Amino acid sequence: MTVLKPQGVLRPGTGPVAWLARIALAAVFAFPLLFMVVSSLKPDQQIFGDLGSPAAFLPVGHLSLDNYAAVFDRVPAARFLLNSVGVSAVTVALGVVVNSMAAFALSRMRVRGKGIILTLVIATLIVPFETLALPLVWWVNQLPWLTANGFSLELTTGWLDTYQVQVLPFVANAFSIYLFHQYFDSIPKELDEAARMDGAGWFTIYRRVVMPLSGPAVATVAILTFLPAWNSYLWPLMVVQSEELRPVMLGVQYFFQLNVSWGEVMAYTSLITLPVVALFIAFQRAFVNSIAASGVKG
Amino acid sequence: MKTAVKRLLAASVVATALGGSLVACGSGSGGSGDGANGELTLWTHNAGNKEELAAIQSLVDEYNAKPDKKATVKVQAFPQDSYNDSVVAAASAKKLPCIVDIDGPNVPNWAWSKYLAPLELSADLSKNLPSTLGEWNGKTYSVGHYDVALALLARRSDLTAAGVRIPTIDSPWTKDELDAALEKLKGLGTWEHPLDLGTGGTGEWLPYAYSPFLQSAGGDLVNRDGYQSADGTLNGDAAVEWAEWFHGLVEKGYAAQKSGKDTTADFIAGKSAILYTGSWAADKARAALGDDLVVLPSVDLGEGPKIGGGSWQWGVTSGCKSAEAAMDYLSFTLAPENVAKIAQATGTIPATEEAAALIPAYAPGGANSIFREFSQEFAVLRPETPAYPFIATEFGKATQDILSGADPKSTLDKAVKDIDANIKSNGGYKG
Amino acid sequence: MTTHSVTDRASDRAPHAPRVGGRAARPGPLPGPRTRPRSGTMAGAVARREERLGWAMIAPAALLLVLFIVVPALLAFGLAFTNARLISPYPPEFVGLDNFVRLAEDATFWRSLANVAYFAVVVVPLQSALALGMALLVNVRVRGVNFFRTVYFLPVVTSMVVVSLLWLFMYRQEGLLNEVIRAVTFGLVEGPDWLNDPATAMPAVILMSVWQAAGFHMIIWLSGLQTIPGDLYEAAALDGVSTWQRFRHITWPGLRATRNLILVTITIQALSLFTQIDVMTQGGPLDSTTTIVHQAVQTGFRQQETSYASAISLVFFVLVLIVSSAQRYLTREKS
């Protein structure tokens, strides 16, 4: 990661108090998750037995992957993971393109009424999804879709029990548009003016000038689109019926049948959390590097 | 953009109208469209429960292999905790499969909403336990392979150590006896809460498990004469007395306000002396405790012990395009050996005596035959009214509040007020 | 004005446009000759083409927002005045304000409002302050800070369903949290039964929610901090300014736009409290954790009273609208 050279002056935030605070906070944030992962390797008896001692956070005692084996036995976990990866990836890809285009037009181009549009877009932020879910179930079931049937396309009605119903409602996002808008505003206008002098059209400026400079905004929007897509629960519960289309969160309920094994619960929750953590750590690097590389500051 | 939206709206309206009219031609208001092309789908609540699902799958495989099958059946499994949510959402969008798994007490609601078609089976249902049939307005809409029975599980050694009488089906514990037993057990100091009532449960467990106590005390969920009001039955003196007794169990430290997620495991691990649970838990407990396990009848709070009747059952939706094939499949599964297979896998009471005879544990004299007796002696169906799903959620919330120390009378009064308003706003659920 | 061409009028608005969205226009160099308003039909055609392309670029997002937010919101609006059920043999009928009258008399609804207010009043300052502290702690360019930023963000990448289950397990009477409390206090303090006591259930939900979401707002603060020019700090450092003064006079004023964003997002997040409640407490014990969104889902979905749930949602929209407008108004007054 990028570490800048010391600046020659004493920088605040490097004293022992700050370090102590950092470490204490890290413990608070990491320990519950550590507990989850460590417990996933232990049999139930030991999970409960270790609660009263530091062993709860340590991989000690009888460790095995038994819980993971049981998870795959109980849930089609591989399929669920694949579905979630696909749904999240497509949502992120479409989300970045759709929202950045809208934000670009609103930030850079002369469009009449764009102030009102931006206000309206931001107003959609106040609507929590849960309260729309029910009417939306009915509504998506009225929507048409083209389905490939052999070599011909067929018009079908109803999006229930499909992949698109898990993706499309979450592509356009007011918060993403706002973030892009804010970021684009901070990119000096001189850059696109120069491109315009070279005869570039607006779309080219968007694609070749502004977007390449917007790495941090793309990374942020990608993360913020990915997380709810990966974590969605209530919506797929309502609109997905086939097991082969279910995302990972619907697997959680599989573990609260008659016999509950907390070890298995911990194993499954670890299994669906760790890929996201890994992805975030990878993204975090890109995020940091792109800040350093573009040199864009306010 | 405006034109684009208009165009899309127009397109979807047209598409809806087209789709709607097609469905309307083919079927009733449950219009699912499932069952075309010689294939029909079956939904079940067993995802994550390997044995049960495997038993259902094996029946389906057997049917699909039959030369005279009328359609190919496909299984779609859901986890139980979210099954009703998924089904209700699908029903509201008219996307139900041909065959659905329904919790018995919800059948009248489904029949009233015209989502279910009356059964027309070649199998004879007259010998089924009455609690395995879902009826409404004089017609049968669903049939189950099994029923379950509530009971108290305990260790003989614990009860003897505490000097507590072991109750029998003819002489169950009375309210005072249970109280004395719990006091003695608590006195041994082995358990923080000697009685595990499964208070950590949610959803349908709450009315299933606790409304029988209310009925044993002389109250009920709703006045069964016409099913128009709960006033006087759910908030009468008997009901208030029940609520005070129920909260007393928690107050005196006999039972936890919220027990664990897996009460059977807790009981086997020695965290409780007496476990109030269903017959499904018996096999697991017996495997762990052997002969020390005793299966006791539920407590008599005045009107004799009561337990909930009616478990998961099968129905055919009114929108199914090959209802005949769906009925054929159900008839096939009701053969005694098939009923036995499902009951065995689920550890439940087989729906017919013929099937029971095929399972050693449920055959006369078998270790689990006592559950069959409980079922015959004590079972009370949950109110057979389309209002049931609403009543169930209100009662569930009321019991949770009562366990948490809410004032019994005002809590029950509020539930009654809401239930009566709901019945009224649905035109009395007539029709 | 009358003599101005269409083009001129369109471009007159351009300088104002960037102000929308609460952002002050950047003091930048004057527009070069190329962007100065031009007259004539050529320029008019260019402007029209720009306008068309602009709309085309906005269209996909706008269409999707209309389809998946505006339409269902309007549907919810309409349903609120009917007696529609999720499952019923009868078609819905218009019933006027019946649902709202019932709502006004519904004790659980008022309790939901109070709970949400309680949650918001505690969480908004607590979480934004904690997140700002965390952002300041990781906005230092020294080795290892990246690690801490990653750790602080970990709960955010963990699903709320998973987090709720995990904390449900930790909050048990004999759970991890009480064991830790016992160990730290040498057995002197016995932790409460967190989620089953009406007095501690909401604080427990608050604690968990702050834990889960603080990292998210840390990132927003961080992006705000990084827009503050570094040379300001360098100048301050050379002048030997204290840490507090530095924060008071450089950092805090520099975070004005970020502050508003944080305030709005945390408030909306607080008002929409749902998943934690649904997994951990189902609104209990004794309605101590019931919330508006939870009540809407519970009545609309589980109790099948679609129209009543829509009425709850409608009241909720209005409420959020009032709160966020009030916030905008208040934060504007101060500047």
pLDDT per residue as tens digits for the range C187-243? 788 888 899 889 999 999 999 999 999 988 888 888 788 778 878 887 887 787 887
Tokens coding B171: 């002489």
The CA distance from B245 to the nearest CA of chain A, in Å, is 28
Contact across the interface for A238 and B86, Cβ inside 8 Å: yes
Q: What is the mean pLDDT of residues B360-370?
A: 88
CA distance C213 to C169: 19
Give residue A109's identity as a one-letter amino acid code. Answer: M
Give the pLDDT confidence score for residue A155 in this predicted structure: 80
Exposed / middle / buried, residue A206 (Cβ in 10 Å: 0-12, 13-18, 19+): buried
Across A196-210, B322-336, C121-135, least confident range: A196-210
Selecting from B77, B97, B264 the residue whose C-beta is nearest the C-beta of A243 gives B77
Give the pLDDT confidence score for residue C222 in this predicted structure: 82
Confidence band of C71 (pLDDT split at 50, 70, 90): very high
Selecting from C59, C303, C306 the residue whose C-beta is nearest the C-beta of B390 gives C303
- Output the CA–CA distances (angstroms, integers) from residue C132 to A16, A26, A280, in the order listed: 19, 15, 21
DSSP letter at B382 equals: P
Q: What is the CATH number of the domain that holds A218?
A: 1.10.3720.10
Q: Which chains touch B (3 or more CB pairs under 8 A)?
A: A, C
- Domain-wise residue ranges, chain C: 107-334
Q: What is the mean pLDDT of residues B170-178?
A: 95
**Does pLDDT of B417 surpass 70?**
yes
In a domain, A10, yes or no: no
Alpha helices in C66-106 (DSSP H): 71-79, 98-104
Task: Say which residue, C21 or B89, is predicted with more confidence.
Answer: B89
Chains B–C, number of C-beta pairs less than 8 Å apart: 78
Residue C290, classed as helix, strand or coil, is coil
Burial B181-203 (b: 16+ CB within 10 A, else e): bbebbbeeeebebbbbbbbbbeb
In terms of C-beta distances under 8 Å and separation of at least 24 residues, what long-range contacts does B197-201 make, across chains too? B197/B249, B197/B255, B197/B256, B197/B259, B197/B276, B198/B259, B198/B263, B198/B275, B198/B276, B198/B277, B199/B250, B199/B255, B199/B256, B199/B257, B199/B258, B199/B259, B199/B403, B200/B256, B200/B258, B200/B259, B200/B260, B200/B261, B200/B263, B201/B259
Sign of the CA dihedral running C302, C307, C310, C311:
negative
C102 touches chain B (CB under 8 A): yes
Q: Which chains touch A (3 or more CB pairs under 8 A)?
A: B, C
Q: Which residues, listed in sequence order, are joined to residue B134 by a DSSP beta bridge?
A: B142
Residue-wise DSSP of A98-131: HHHHHHHHHHHS--TTHHHHHHHHHHGGGS-HHH
Task: Say which residue, A142 or A287, is predicted with more confidence.
Answer: A142
Q: Is B430 left (phi over 0), alpha (psi -120 to 50) or beta?
A: beta
Confidence band of B172 (pLDDT split at 50, 70, 90): very high
Domains in chain B: ranges and CATH: 2-147+310-366 (3.40.190.10), 150-308+387-429 (3.40.190.10)
Helix H or strand E encompassing C109:
helix C107-138
State how far Cα B35 lies from the chain centre.
Answer: 27
Confidence band of A286 (pLDDT split at 50, 70, 90): low
End-to-end CA distance of chain B: 47
Q: What is the pLDDT of residues B249-304, one digit of tens each?
A: 999 999 998 888 889 999 999 999 999 999 989 988 999 999 999 999 999 999 99
Contact across the interface for C310 and A135, Cβ inside 8 Å: yes
Domain that holds residue A93: 83-249
Contact across the interface for B88 and C301, Cβ inside 8 Å: yes
Residue B238, classed as helix, strand or coil, is helix
Q: Which residues, listed in sequence order, are joined to residue A57 by a DSSP beta bridge?
A: none
Proportion of chain B above pLDDT 90, given as a percent? 68
Closest residue of chain A to B18, computed from CA coordinates: A157
**Does pLDDT of B109 surpass 60?**
yes
- Angle (CA) C125-C129-C133 rounded to 5° is 175
Helix H or strand E encompassing B155:
strand B150-155
**Does pLDDT of C72 surpass 50?**
yes
Instruction: Provide the pairing of β-strand B39-44 with B99-103.
Output: parallel
CA proximity to C287, closest of C171, C172, C198, C200: C198
Q: Which residues, listed in sequence order, are joined to residue B143 by a DSSP beta bridge?
A: B133, B314
**Does pLDDT of A66 surpass 50?**
yes
CA distance B113 to C246: 68
Contact across the interface for B82 and A237, Cβ inside 8 Å: yes
Q: What is the mean pLDDT of residues B402-418?
A: 94
CA distance C31 to B30: 64
Confidence band of C36 (pLDDT split at 50, 70, 90): very low
Give the pLDDT confidence score for residue B300 in this predicted structure: 96
CA distance A131 to B31: 26
Closest residue of chain B to C65, computed from CA coordinates: B5
Residue-wise DSSP of A156-203: EE--TTSSHHHHGGGTS-HHHHHHHHHHHHHS-HHHHHHHHHTT--HH
Selecting from A130, A132, A276 the residue whose C-beta is nearest the C-beta of C157 gives A276
Q: What is the mean pLDDT of residues B93-97?
A: 84
Tell me phi and psi for residue A18, to 5 degrees.
-60, -40
CA distance B363 to A252: 37
Exposed / middle / buried, residue A34 (Cβ in 10 Å: 0-12, 13-18, 19+): middle
Tokens coding C317: 């929209």
Cβ pair B93, A138 in contact under 8 A: yes
CA distance B214 to A152: 62
Confidence band of B50 (pLDDT split at 50, 70, 90): confident
- Output the CA–CA distances (angstroms, integers) from residue C195 to A85, C209, C251, in the order listed: 34, 14, 39
Tell me phi and psi for residue B252, to 5 degrees.
-80, 0
The CA distance from B337 to the nearest CA of chain C, in Å, is 36
Confidence band of A287 (pLDDT split at 50, 70, 90): low
Confidence band of B175 (pLDDT split at 50, 70, 90): very high
**Does pLDDT of B5 surpass 50?**
no
CA proximity to A185, closest of B243, C264, C22: C22
C149 touches chain A (CB under 8 A): yes
Give the pLDDT confidence score for residue A285 in this predicted structure: 65
State how far Cα A182 lies from the chain centre.
Answer: 20
Tokens coding A55: 């062993």
Q: Is B227 left (phi over 0), alpha (psi -120 to 50) or beta?
A: left
In a domain, A37, yes or no: no
Give the pLDDT confidence score for residue C173 in this predicted structure: 80
Q: What is the mean pLDDT of residues C124-141?
A: 90
In a domain, A278, yes or no: no
Give the pLDDT confidence score for residue A131 in this predicted structure: 78
Tell me phi and psi for residue A140, to 5 degrees.
-65, -25
Confidence band of C40 (pLDDT split at 50, 70, 90): low
CB contacts, 8 Å: A96 with chain C: none
- Superfamily of structural domain C107-334: MetI-like (1.10.3720.10)
- How much of chain A is in helix, strand and coil states, percent to nearest 5? 70, 5, 25
Confidence band of B393 (pLDDT split at 50, 70, 90): very high
CA proximity to B371, closest of B195, B89, B147: B147
- Output the CA–CA distances (angstroms, integers) from residue A87 to A247, B114, B397, in the order listed: 8, 35, 36
Tokens coding B116: 């279910």
Helix H or strand E encompassing A48:
helix A44-50
Range with the largest mean pLDDT of A258-272, B159-173, B353-367, C189-203 = B159-173
Contact across the interface for B48 and A238, Cβ inside 8 Å: no
Cβ pair B257, B403 in contact under 8 A: yes
Selecting from A104, A281, A297 the residue whose C-beta is nearest the C-beta of C229 gives A297
CA distance C268 to C319: 10
Rg of the Cα atoms in chain A: 24
Question: What average pLDDT does the structure give for chain A?
Answer: 84
Cβ pair B221, B391 in contact under 8 A: yes
Cβ pair A222, A173 in contact under 8 A: no
B window 108-147, beta carbon within 8 A of A: none
Selecting from B43, B85, B265 the residue whose C-beta is nearest the C-beta of A238 gives B85
Tokens coding B324: 């005949």
- Output the CA–CA distances (angstroms, integers) from residue A27 to A21, A32, A121, C183, C203, in the order listed: 10, 9, 39, 16, 21
Residue-wise DSSP of C222-254: HHHHTTS-HHHHHHHHHTT--HHHHIIIIIHHH
Tokens coding B176: 């005072």
Collect all residues with Cβ–Cβ distance below 8 Å to C2 and sequence separation of at least 6: none
Q: Which residues, listed in sequence order, are joined to residue B155 by a DSSP beta bridge?
A: B293
**Does pLDDT of A80 surpass 80?**
yes
**Does pLDDT of A124 surpass 60?**
yes
